[in-house]
Amino acid sequence: MVEEISFALSEEQQMMQDTIRQLVQANVIDAIHQWDENRQLDKQTVQKFWELGVIQSMIPEEYGGYGMGSSPVLHTIILEELAYGDMAFAVYAMLPALFVLPVVHLGSTEQKGKYLPEFCNESYIPATMAVNELSVGFDIWNCETKAEKKGSSYVLNGKKCFVPLADEAKYMIVVAHYEGNPHLFIVDKEVKGLSVGEREKNCGWWALPTFEVNFENCLVPESNKLGDELAINWLLQRTRTAMAAIGTGISRASYDYAKKYAKERQQFGEPIASRQSIAFMIAEMAYEVDAMRLLAWKAASAIELKMDANRESFLAKIYAGEMTMKLTDYGVQILGGHGYIRDHPVERYYRSGRSIAICEAMAII
C-alpha cells in the first residue's frame, strides 16, 4: 500500500488562511505605504488581528485561553499571509507569541499562572524577545550578554539590538549566556538596570519600531529562568521556520506585483512580460516561492510531529534568506526605474526582505 503525502490544507487551515488574507487585503495592502512613510503602524488594524484570537488560542484553557494548541504548520500559514501584506505588520501582529509560546511550552506552572492570563484580554498586549547582538551575529552560543547567579537571583549584563517594541513591551524574554550555554530569562521592563535606547534606523520594516536594550546589573528572580539549556534549540527551530514563512510571504508579494506590472507595462507595442529575460525572471520567482513554502512547511511539520527539526528549520531559513533577496531584487529589476520609486511596493519588499538572511530570532514562533 502506497501512503500519500497530502499538501492540501485542512478545513481549519484553509479557513484561517482565508480569514488572514481577507484582513490583509482589506486593511493592510492599501495602507502600508503610508504606515511605512510615517514609521508607524495603525494599531486599530493590529487590534483587528488580535480579535481573531490567534494568540489566545495558543494558551491553555486553565489560564484563560481558548486551549486550541499551537500548531507550527498553522502558524507558518498565518505568517506567510501576514507578511504578504508587510513584514513589519506580520512581526508586530504576532509579536506577543514570542513571549506566550515559550512560556506555554517551557514555563513552570508558576510562570504560566503569572503571565499567560494577561494575554487573554480583549486588547493587544505587546511583549517581545531580546536575542540579537551586533557583535556576534548568528553565533548565539557565544552571545556577550551574561547571566551570573547571585543568591536567589540572576544578574544580567549586556546589550541587545533589533528588539521590537522594546519601548512598549511589559515583558521580554532575554537570551543570556550562563554556565557555558545560552539560556532564556523572563525580564520585566520595569526592573532596575534595564534601559531602552533610541529607536533604531533600519533599512527595512520602517513601520516596526526596534530598539537597543541595555542590561546593567539587571536583577532577575531565580523563578524567571525559562526552561533549561535545551530551550534555545526549541526556540531557534521555531524562529527559523517563522523567518522562512515571512520570507515566503514577502517574495510572493513581490512576484505577484512584478507579474501584474509586466503584463500591463507596454514597450514597443507589447507587454514587457513577453520579453524572454523578463519572462524567465517571473518563472523563476514562481517556482522559488513554492520551494520556499514547501521547505517552511516541512520544517513546521517536523516540529509539529515533535521531531528534531534543527536541520529542516535551518535549511528553510537559509534558503528563504537567499531567495527572498534574489526574488525581491527581481521585482525591482522587472519594474526598471519604477522599481526604485517609492510609489511602488517592490522597493519596500526589497528592503524588508534583506533582513531574512541577517536577523536571527527576529520573528514569531
Which sequence positions are flagged as catalytic?
Answer: 360
Q: Residue 262 — left, alpha, or beta (φ > 0 → left; ψ -120 to 50 → alpha)? A: alpha
User: Residues 6 or more apart from 80 whose CB is under 8 A from it?
Assistant: 245, 246, 248, 249, 252, 293, 296
In this structure, the chain runs to a length of: 365
Task: Give yes or no for a contact between 188 and 161, defined as CB atoms under 8 angstroms apart.
Answer: no
Closest CA to 344 of 264, 244, 246: 264
Residue in the structure block whose three cell numbers are 520579453: 275
Q: Strand 194-199 relative to strand 210-221: parallel, antiparallel, unpaired? A: antiparallel
In this structure, the strands spanning 270-271 and 266-267 are antiparallel
Strand-pair partners of 175? 184
Residue 158 neighbours by CB under 8 Å, 6+ apart: 133, 143, 144, 145, 146, 176, 214, 215
DSSP helix/strand/coil, 34: helix
